[in-house]
Amino acid sequence: MKDTRSRATGRPTLAHVAALAGVSQITTSRALRSVPTVAPELVERVRAAAKALSYVPNPAARTLASARSQSILVLVPALSNHLFIETLEAIQAVFRPRGFEMLIGNYHYDSYEEEELIRNYLSHQPCGILLTGFKRSAVAADLLATSGVPRVQMMDLGGDTASVCVGFSQGSAGRAVADHLLSRGRRKLAFVGAQLDDRVMQRRAGFQQAIADAGFSQAVDILTPEPSSVDLGVTLFKRLLAECPQTDGVFFCNDDLAFGACFEALRKGISIPQRLSVVGFNDLPGASQMVPRLTTVQTPRASIGRQAAINLLKLLDGETLDTERVDLGFELVVRESS
């Protein structure tokens, strides 16, 4: 009966593995972390010993000794939006196989909560941080900068922070929608927007620019500062039909607006693919299954997550990607109902 487990945790420790492999603790440590200076033969022996004992490293000890954990902090504004879930999945697909853990911080679109989360999670000494967007409190920005932990920002490309960003351009999304509609022969194009924040206006600008570049002009703008919703989509769609009945292509700046419109069209028996092309931004969950032919411009969530993760890995490896901005474009997805 050999003593191969720690009294405190009941699990074998590095010392046990080292003893079994017949090398020093530090060599064991290095071998297990794939530090290149260890002789291949020793690596072999150590691996075998670790396996024999079912050794699993103690992350707390590792973090304490190295002042750096194997965790990546990911801050998202919401979990209720599918967009971020898919982004998280893509991130995890990069990090999990490499032995990193993900700490997920949901700040509910609240910058004070974001600040608190940062303060809390920073105490865990994450080795990297993935952030969503630019806007955050000065305190939060300062905490991040002071921490010195490598970080990558996702989704937005704009802003003034001198750091690595992975996202897409709202303007080119708008442009693509216009090109798509024009290529299908649509000429009476409308833009329907709510909320009217920067992003919406950038999408609109790209949309208009592309129409102008093609030598046409946009037929109509239906705009309102109200927050976007399915109901509002119905209302604005009615307004569109009233004000500009000859419209044959619409870009709804938000998914729920587009959905409300499609739904209303369905009710009224308006055949959307034939009389009208509708494009929405992002994809309301389930919408694709319910509404006949809704074209959708999707934020490239998975690509953004994956690329952001990959760039963060590069930073962790010591590469310098200063102020790199990666524009991943977007995807035009044509959905069809049953």
Full strand arrangement of the beta sheet holding 71-76: 101-106, 71-76, 128-132, 151-155, 164-167, 325-327
Q: How far apart are CA 316 and CA 143, in angstroms?
A: 19
Choose among DNA, its own copies, none what residue 85 binds, the Cβ cut-off being 5 to 8 Å by kind. its own copies
Choose among its own copies, DNA, none what residue 33 binds, the Cβ cut-off being 5 to 8 Å by kind. DNA
- The reply to whether 83 sits near its own copies by the rule CB under 8 A is no
Distance in Å, CB of 253 to its own copies, minimum = 18
**Closest listed residue to residue 140, CA positions, set 169, 116, 159:** 116
Choose among DNA, its own copies, none what residue 25 binds, the Cβ cut-off being 5 to 8 Å by kind. DNA
Q: How far apart are CA 212 and CA 217, in angstroms?
A: 6
* Residue 147 CB-half CA count within 13 A: 24
Radius of gyration of the chain (CA): 26
In terms of Cβ atoms closer than 10 Å to its own Cβ (0-12, 13-18, 19+), residue 286 is exposed
Nearer to DNA, 29 or 163 (CB): 29
Nearer to its own copies, 249 or 305 (CB): 305
Given candidates 15, 35, 59, 198, which one binds its own copies under the rule CB under 8 A? 59
Choose among its own copies, DNA, none what residue 250 binds, the Cβ cut-off being 5 to 8 Å by kind. none
CB 211 within 8 A of CB 179: no
Choose among DNA, its own copies, none what residue 24 binds, the Cβ cut-off being 5 to 8 Å by kind. DNA
Q: How far apart are CA 164 and CA 334, in angstroms?
A: 32
Q: What's at 228, amino acid-wise?
A: S
Given candidates 196, 223, 270, 290, which one binds its own copies under the rule CB under 8 A? 290
Nearer to DNA, 13 or 295 (CB): 13
- The reply to whether 58 sits near its own copies by the rule CB under 8 A is yes
Given candidates 285, 319, 323, 334, which one binds its own copies under the rule CB under 8 A? 285
Distance in Å, CB of 39 to its own copies, minimum = 27
Choose among DNA, its own copies, none what residue 238 binds, the Cβ cut-off being 5 to 8 Å by kind. none
CA distances from 95 to 72, 281, 288, 290, 308 (A): 8, 29, 31, 35, 11
| Residues at the interface with DNA (CB under 7 A) | 6-9, 11, 13-15, 23-27, 29-30, 32-33, 37-39, 42, 55, 57-58, 61-62, 64-68
Distance in Å, CB of 42 to DNA, minimum = 5
CB 165 within 8 A of CB 156: yes
Nearer to its own copies, 54 or 183 (CB): 54
Q: How far apart are CA 281 and CA 296, in angstroms?
A: 6
For residues 119-148, which are near its own copies according to CB under 8 A? 119-120, 123-125
Burial 18-32 (b: 16+ CB within 10 A, else e): bbbbebeeebbbbbb
For residues 251-280, which are near its own copies according to CB under 8 A? 256, 259-260, 263, 266-267
Nearer to DNA, 55 or 191 (CB): 55
Nearer to DNA, 58 or 202 (CB): 58
Nearer to DNA, 30 or 204 (CB): 30
Nearer to DNA, 35 or 333 (CB): 35
CA 8 to chain centre: 40
Distance in Å, CB of 270 to its own copies, minimum = 13
Distance in Å, CB of 61 to DNA, minimum = 3
CB 157 within 8 A of CB 169: yes
